Structure 1
Amino acid sequence: MSTLTFNIEDKYVGITIREYLQTYNVGKPVIYKYSSNHLFEVNFKAVNSEYRLKKGDVLNIHLEPYVMNDIEDVELDIIYEDDDIVIVNKPFNVIVHDDGASEDHLTRRVNMHFQYHGYHHQVLPAHRIDKETTGIVVFAKHFIALAYLSNLFESRQVVKNYICVVENKVKDKTGSIESKLIKDSKLQKMVVSPHGKLAITHYELLGYEATRSRLKVQIETGRTHQIRAHMASINHPVVGDILYGVSSSRLLLHFSEISFPMIRTKKVEHFVSNPPF
């Protein structure tokens, strides 16, 4: 069984384990389950979630086991890894989550890799990118990291930059697109509509490639197909986007940079993935 260890800082002295975990946005049902299953220890003695932390305490959390069958060593392009997270470079044409139809997906590959190397706890993605998009995907190695990262994404504390190549020459060196997006059930794609959810996209021209433009794009929000829908809305669809533009060999969209405060230190770290195009 894998175990998490936290050395309790002075600022947390006097609060309960439940309150401590809630500072990472862990939900009460998960805390209750771990407490009921006697998976909390302080200084190697079993305690429940109402134990009040003391100066010098060491909190150990035994993670629920997760065992896969027929595992093999899967090659991953790992950008960064520590005890809490792993950042993976997603290849083209691979989905992030299990969609119920495809046997192969990035989450399965990541879990097979960790199972093979002796880490028997489920590793889950904190966000997703499209099947055709390449680049950064951040995975949580345990429930505390997943709760913490999910809150960062939801509260827009994550800086996300993409590289893409779009059709036609973009005239302005920089620009912003701020409009509401909603899914059109007939077209099966996102469209600009006053009834949608606000989406904010900023772009910077990096250069021209024949009749096309290479852009650096930063999104403040994380709507479905946001970059693809927004760039198409200003007549610059992403190259290879069969849904919003014209099909070609592949979609030229890559999640290239991410910055966020780390779970233990709260120091903002920056991670980079170079586009394959």
Structure 2
Amino acid sequence: MDEIREFLVLEDEEGDRLDVYLSSQLGDMSRSYIQKIIKDKKVKVNGKEEKAKYLVKEDDKVIIEIPAPKLLEVLPQDIPIDIVYEDTDILIINKPQDMVVHPAPGNYENTLVNAIIYHCKDKLSSINGVIRPGIVHRIDKDTSGLLMIAKNNNSHNSLAEQLKDHSITREYEFICHGVVKEDKITVNKPIGRNPKDRLKMAVVPGGKNAVTHFEVVQRFENFTHMRARLETGRTHQIRVHALSINHPLLGDPVYGPKNNKFKTNGQTLHAKKLGFIHPSKNEYIEFDSELPNYFKDIINKLK
């Protein structure tokens, strides 16, 4: 069954293109797919069909009819995955850089979900539906590192509750621009949509509470190797908080400088440590993954 979503344009959203506005409201959908929905006349503004380039105005009522996801479009694919740990409840994956975690409308192939459906068959939680079976949390396409997958609904509920309580250990390592002077910094700044660019996140008054603990691992000339521990889990949290202290991540295509002499495939960010209470064994377990080659190569060059 198609899903009907309704939005009312706010004052600070006025002037966005219709496709850009809907992309910001529907974070999991590609802009090209939204453009297709608009072209298929499934979007109305104040009861009238408009083109993707239409500039939305305050108080515009936007209604979009999202085609129902088709089960057959998310197919198992024999894609190699780096399994760190597996039992009947959970699967811990070391995700490579440049791999999308779950399918989104218009992009149903070559994602981590396609790979885990192939590996796990029907042994995955169903809580997040067809598109995200087993997915409890996610990391960005260009971020590498550890990700937990729930193989049944009990595990999914347990892990989701721990995420909500901020009791899961999540440590990342990254390389940022500039030499960070302080050995340790805690950034406690709310994060929300960037009012000037709805496809970006930013530190904004009234945003969601976000806390990141930063620590220097090693300083280089013009760059610093850092560790970050997440207390909360907001979209792009590390990237936005690092930018807020004037140390954007190396290679970050959204929040970093345009010049990138290391030619990275996105931000140099790795989810290195993951720890939580096992859903059925009720004991704390922790996983640590080695820094990937792309990350180590950059450190060697900086040395």
Q: TM-score, normalising length from structure 2?
A: 0.65
2:166 maps to 1:156? yes
- Ranges in structure 2 where 5+ consecutive residues have no aligned partner: 1-70, 126-132, 296-303
2:80 to 75, 79, 86: 75
- Relative to structure 1, the CA distance from residue 167 to residue 142 in structure 2 (aligned partners, 3 Å threshold; closer, same or farther) is same
Structure 1 gaps of 5+ residues are 1-65
Residue 266 in structure 1 maps to residue 282 in structure 2: yes
| Paired residues of 1:179 and 1:199 also in contact (CA < 8 A) | yes
Cα shift readout 1:177-204 (whole Å, capped 9, x = no counterpart): 0011111254121111111011000011
Query: 1-side partners of 2:204 and 2:123: how far apart?
Result: 45
CA deviation after TM superposition for structure 1 residue 131, in Å: 1.0
CA-atom RMSD, angstroms? 2.0
Give the corresponding residue for 2:157: 147
TM-superposed deviation, 1:233:
0.6
The residue number in structure 1 matching 2:116 is 110
The residue type equivalent to 2:120 in the other structure is: F
2:257 counterpart SS class: coil
Letter in 1 for 2:99: V
Structure 1 residue 167 corresponds to structure 2 residue 183: no
* 1:177-232 Cα shifts (integer Å, max 9, x gaps): 00111112541211111110110000110002332000110010000000000000
Do 1:174 and 1:204's aligned partners in 2 also have CA atoms closer than 8 Å? yes
- Tell me how far 1:112 sits from its aligned partner: 1.1
SS of the residue 1:149 aligns to: helix
CA distance in 2, matches of 1:205, 1:231: 12
Which aligned pairs between 1:5-16 and structure 2 lie closer than 5 A? none
Are 1:256 and 2:283 matched, yes or no? no
Alignment TM-score, normalising by the size of structure 1:
0.71
Contact 1:75 1:113 in 2 (8 A): no
How many percent of aligned residue pairs carry the same amino acid?
A: 32
The answer to whether the aligner puts 1:126 opposite 2:136 as a matched pair is yes
Pick closer, same or farther for the CA change 1:186–1:171 going to 2, 3 Å: same
Moved more, 106-115 or 193-202: 106-115
The answer for the alignment partner of 2:206 in structure 1 is 195
1:228-263: CA deviations, max 9, x gaps? 000001110010011111243231001000111111
Give the match's secondary structure for 2:209.
strand
CA contact (8 A) 1:67 1:121 kept: no
Structure 1 segments, 4+ long, off by >2 Å, are 66-74, 119-123
The alpha-carbon deviation at position 67 of structure 1 amounts to 9.3
In the alignment, is residue 180 of structure 1 matched against residue 180 of structure 2?
no
| Rg comparison, structure with higher value | 1
Deviation at 1:68, TM superposition (A): 9.2
SS in structure 1 opposite 2:187? strand
**One-letter code of the match for 1:83?**
T
* Distance in 1 between residues matched to 2:191 and 2:211, nearest whole Å: 10
Point out the structure with the larger strand share: 1
Cα distance 1:129–1:71, how it changes in 2: closer, same or farther (>3 A)?
Answer: closer
Cα 1:79–1:68 shift into 2, 3 Å: farther
Q: Does 1:93 find its partner at 2:98? A: yes
One-letter amino acid of the counterpart of residue 233, structure 1:
S
